[in-house]
Amino acid sequence: MIPEDLLEEGQLRMLDVDASVVCPVDTHIRFIVTSADVIHDFCIPSLGVKVDASPGRLNQTSALIQREGVYYGQCSELCGVMHSAMPIKIEAIFNNNINN
């Protein structure tokens, strides 16, 4: 998560990150999640993605992103003090733009 004092114009407070996940449009994406400490929840509501991340276990879900754009999510499991500081940002781009 980008600290408030470092946000640039247009960035979203508590949602923008310094390293986003870049995915191709019109390609089936598989998310495999786990956790090192407690149960978390990998959730991107606008993509219909929600899967538990449990310690010692691999869980998976998939998505087919059909529109180019930016999709935000966060941990949706009350997992501890820093629960609200776990944003997710996915940038969906066309395949021919992946290497740029």
For 8-59, the pLDDT digits (tens) are 777 666 677 778 889 999 999 999 999 999 999 999 999 999 999 999 999 9
User: Model-level pTM?
Assistant: 0.79
For 76-93, the pLDDT digits (tens) are 888 777 666 788 999 999
- Position 3 pLDDT exceeds 90: no
Question: What domains sit in the chain, N to C, each tagged with a CATH number?
Answer: 17-97 (2.60.40.420)
Q: Please name which of 55, 41, 46 lies closest in space to residue 84, comparing C-alpha atoms.
A: 41
Alpha helices in the chain (DSSP H): none
Q: Which two tokens stand for residue 86?
A: 């776990």
